[in-house]
Amino acid sequence: MSTRRDVSHEYLKNAVMTASQEQLHLMLLDGAIRFATQGRAGLEAGDMEAMFNGLDRAQKIVLELSSGLRRDVNPPLANRMAALYDFIFRRLVDANMKRDVPAVDDALRILRHQRETWVLLMDKLQTGRLTSKPTLRHSPDTPADSDTGGFVAEG
C-alpha cells in the first residue's frame, strides 16, 4: 500500500513541477472544490473530522489563491478577485463553525464557476497561441528599398 502512495505522491510532485502557471491555478481550484466537497459530505454524514479536514484544506487553498494575486498587474481586477476569495473563505469558515451546508454550497458554486471560467480562458489562450501568426506592419525606421520593402514582422 505504501508503494502505491509513494507513486501517487511522486506523480503529483512531477505534475506540479512541470505545470504552467495556468495549470497550477487550475490544480488549486480543483483541489479547493475536491476538499470542500469532501467537507460537505462529512458534514452531511455527521463525520465532523472529515468535515473539518476537508473544509480546512479548502480554506488553505483559497488563501493561497488570494495570496497569489498580482496586484501590480491590474489592481482593480486583483481587488475584485481578492474580495471574491474572501467571500469564499468566509463561507467555508461559516460552514465549518456553524455546520452549515448552504454555506459550503455557496463556496462550491463560486469555485466551480471560477474553474469553468479559468478553463475557458486557458482554451482561449491556447487557441490564440496556436493561431497566432506574425503580421506585417510598415516601419518608418526600415528603408523602403531594403530586403523587406519597409515592412517588419510582429507577433
| Pick among 3.40.630.10, 1.20.120.340, 3.40.50.150, 3.20.20.70: CATH of 2-154 | 1.20.120.340
Tens of pLDDT along the chain (155 residues) come to: 567 777 766 765 666 677 788 899 999 999 999 999 999 999 999 999 999 999 999 999 999 999 999 999 999 999 999 999 999 999 999 999 999 999 999 999 999 999 999 999 999 988 877 665 555 444 445 444 444 444 444 44
What is the pTM (predicted TM-score) of this model?
Answer: 0.75
Nearest to 79 by CA among 71, 90, 91: 71
3-state SS, one letter per residue, for 11-65: HHHHHHHHCCHHHHHHHHHHHHHHHHHHHHHHHHHCCHHHHHHHHHHHHHHHHHH
Please report, for the chain, the start and end positions of each structural domain, with discontinuous segments joined by +. 2-154
Cα-Cα-Cα-Cα dihedral sign, residues 71, 129, 126, 27: negative
For 70-105, letters b (16+ CB in 10 Å) and e give eeeeeeeeeeebeebbeebbebbbbbbeeeeeebbe
How far from 149 is each of 42, 133, 138, 140, CA to CA, in Å? 69, 19, 9, 11
Judge contact between 38 and 54, C-beta under 8 A. yes
Length of the chain in terms of residues written: 155
How many CB atoms are closer than 10 A to CB 43? 22
